[in-house]
Amino acid sequence: MTYRAPVKDMLFVMKELAGIEAVAALPAYADAGYDTAAAVLEESAKLCEDVIAPLNWEGDKNPSSFRDGKVTTTPGFKEAFRQYAEGGWQGLQHPADYGGQGLPKLIHAACSEMVNSANMSFALCPLLTDGAVEALLTAGTPEQQSTYLPKLIDGTWTGSMNLTEPQAGSDLSMVRTRAEPQPDATYRIFGTKIYITYGEHDLAENIVHLVLARVVGAPEGVKGISLFICPKFLVNADGGLGARNDVHCVSIEHKMGIKASPTAVLQYGDHGGAVATLVGQENRGLEYMFIMMNAARYGVGVQGIALAERAYQKAVQYARDRVQSRPVDGSATAAAAIIHHPDVRRMLMTMRAHTEGCRAMALVAAAAFDAAHAHPDAEVRKQNQAFYEFMVPLVKGLSTEMSLDVASLGVQVHGGMGFIEETGAAQYLRDAKILTIYEGTTAIQANDLVGRKTGRDGGQVARAIAAQIEATEGALRQRPSAAGRAMAQRLGAARAAFLDVVDFITTQGRAQPGAVYAGSVPYLMLAGTTVAGWQMARALMAAEDRLAEGVDADFMRAKIVTARFYADHILNKATALRDSIVDGSEAVTAMALESF
């Protein structure tokens, strides 16, 4: 067994926490209810478990390679991508008008978790294509949409996102790639883009690069950046492939992880300029890119959950098999499988609770996205959009940071074998590290959460979420169970800590920005842990109710135990984070620069 998709947990979250039936009640998603989700998830699980997961280890050993300007992907990837495309998986969440399945993000997110658990290097290609589709749906002309969308959605072509340059990483205002307008309304692009995921490969016949560049004479900074489509092969009027465009891969990177995913340096315009067309209006590129980035950041958060799930499954398997030492509780007279040792249990529970908490948070956010896009009532759309936007940095920041901890625990459970590459646990740890870096580092997510998502509206959305959490605490207090009462107490303390920090940010943001931003990442962790804990609290109540009805007793009992663990071992960290943020900012910046 390499990977088993956690279909049951995904469906539980969809039904009990994310409200899949409410999503299916939206006219755009009629028929996308529980039964549809169950059928789609089962199909996705088959492809991911049987075809894509077995290639993960192969990709690490035998990564994409580069020769004479061409990238060759790991053997097996091309065939797997063909099956993925033919199965319609690339188009799952995209509009039926362009050949997609038009399913809600809620279902797509679960399928995306599966393909990323199976093989993150492989899954990056569809993820980047989704980003390109999103950008074209947002700001493309009808002609651009009809030219590119059907082929991106059916997997004939793939997409890439070209933001980063050597001097412009977190700070995109420093983008220097140049776009020269032409008399025929096209542009010619000149410059170098680095770290471009699937910027060159052999999985599809064309690559549609979405490129940030500065039109000659545009203002300095973020206000002078435009977005362009620049395909590897130009597209003829009849939709067929035309001349090779002047964008070339000059190398691919040798990386710590996700080795099978080619990370390209792309050179634009060495032979007269790469032909491109403008997306939307000049100088509004970053705005469009942010829409695309929200989708991509959410997607990277899901990658974190996916990786954590895979690391957890592997650790459980090993812990059941490896025999070492007699259990301290005397339950066996001889050495037993290490899963009997309390500390191994603690590690496995930590891995499981983090993964389930982040999954619940992410799927609830996905349902809010669906309501924000498809609800008939404008006010409901607005509220859901605000909630979703608050969630994006939490899903990205918390899920990716926790995936690193989980993957590291996964290695620890394996002992020395974990450090040996052939075991496979180390690959998850190496693969996880990129997640806290690309699509904006954790610090960049935290800046977004503090500035745009909390400070800008004076903490309004944050406080509205806290009020919802408080209502859950009220419901928990009505419960007769010890787990319910313990959860109510921990959740209440976490919510109070969260609100203290929201007050600190909204009152001190202008007066002491250094102090507020010194606590930005801890605030993201505090907010994320509180929201994920809130979802685990809701899960606990739902599981108790289903258990009382006699539904799937083993699963429900396990969910209750996991939620209780989350409360006592993860949610309880919230108050310490509050102290670091509110009381500890001075120590962060007090050291004289020359003393480092």
Residues within the interface to ligand FAD (CB under 6 A): 161-164, 169-170, 195-197, 255, 263, 434, 437-441, 443-444, 447
Q: How far is the CB of 179 from ligand FAD (least distance, A)?
A: 16
Q: How far is the CB of 411 from ligand FAD (least distance, A)?
A: 21
Using the minimum distance from each CB to ligand FAD, give the nearer residue, 367 or 432. 432
Using the minimum distance from each CB to ligand FAD, give the nearer residue, 164 or 350. 164
Rounded to 5 degrees, what are φ and ψ at 147? -75, -45
Q: How far is the CB of 159 from ligand FAD (least distance, A)?
A: 10
DSSP 233: E
Q: SS3 sequence, 280-345? A: CCCCCHHHHHHHHHHHHHHHHHHHHHHHHHHHHHHHHHHHHHCECCCCCCCCCCCCCEHHHCHHHH
Q: How far is the CB of 285 from ligand FAD (least distance, A)?
A: 13
What is d(CA 117, CA 111) in angstroms, rounded to the nearest whole number? 10
Q: Measuring CA to CA, how many Å separate 49 from each of 55, 84, 118, 506?
A: 10, 12, 7, 47
Using the minimum distance from each CB to ligand FAD, give the nearer residue, 37 or 163. 163
Using the minimum distance from each CB to ligand FAD, give the nearer residue, 195 or 312. 195
Using alpha carbons only, give the angle 170, 173, 177 rounded to the nearest 5 degrees: 100
Q: Measuring CA to CA, how many Å separate 149 from each of 157, 296, 310, 570, 588?
A: 9, 17, 32, 43, 48
Q: How many helices (H) and strands (E) does the chain have?
A: 20, 12
What is d(CA 512, CA 498) in angstroms, rounded to the nearest whole number? 19
Rounded to 5 degrees, what are φ and ψ at 377? -90, 120
279 burial via Cβ count (<10 Å: 0-12, 13-18, 19+): buried
What is d(CA 541, CA 501) in angstroms, rounded to the nearest whole number? 28
Using the minimum distance from each CB to ligand FAD, give the nearer residue, 127 or 541. 127
Q: Quick one: which of 248, 254, 129, 132 has its CA closest to 191?
A: 248
Pairing of strands 65-67, 263-268: unpaired
What is d(CA 106, CA 226) in angstroms, rounded to the nearest whole number? 31
Q: How far is the CB of 324 from ligand FAD (least distance, A)?
A: 37
Measured from the Cβ of residue 572, the count of other Cβ atoms closer than 10 Å reads 16
Using the minimum distance from each CB to ligand FAD, give the nearer residue, 276 or 348. 276
Q: How far is the CB of 441 from ligand FAD (least distance, A)?
A: 3
Q: How far is the CB of 200 from ligand FAD (least distance, A)?
A: 12
What is d(CA 203, CA 80) in angstroms, rounded to the nearest whole number? 9
What is d(CA 524, CA 402) in angstroms, rounded to the nearest whole number? 12
Using the minimum distance from each CB to ligand FAD, give the nearer residue, 313 or 442. 442
Nearest residue to ligand FAD on Cβ basis: 169
Structure tokens at 160: 């890439």
Using the minimum distance from each CB to ligand FAD, give the nearer residue, 350 or 520. 520
Q: How far is the CB of 434 from ligand FAD (least distance, A)?
A: 5
Q: How far is the CB of 129 from ligand FAD (least distance, A)?
A: 11
Using the minimum distance from each CB to ligand FAD, give the nearer residue, 239 or 513. 513
Q: Would you list the DSSP string of 163-183?
A: --BTTBSS-GGG---EEEE-T
Using the minimum distance from each CB to ligand FAD, give the nearer residue, 76 or 199. 199
Query: Is residue 439 annotated as part of the catalytic site, yes or no?
Result: yes
Instruction: Determine the distance from the C-alpha atom of residue 413 to the mean position of all C-alpha atoms in its chain, rounded to a whole number.
Output: 25
Q: How far is the CB of 508 from ligand FAD (least distance, A)?
A: 18
CB 273 within 8 A of CB 177: no
CB 107 within 8 A of CB 36: yes
> Which of 439, 473, 544, 549 does the annotation list as catalytic?
439
Q: How many residues does the chain have?
A: 596
3-class SS of residue 262: coil
User: Which amino acid, residue 371?
Assistant: A
CB 114 within 8 A of CB 177: no
User: Which amino acid, residue 43?
Assistant: E
Task: Return the active site residues.
Answer: 439
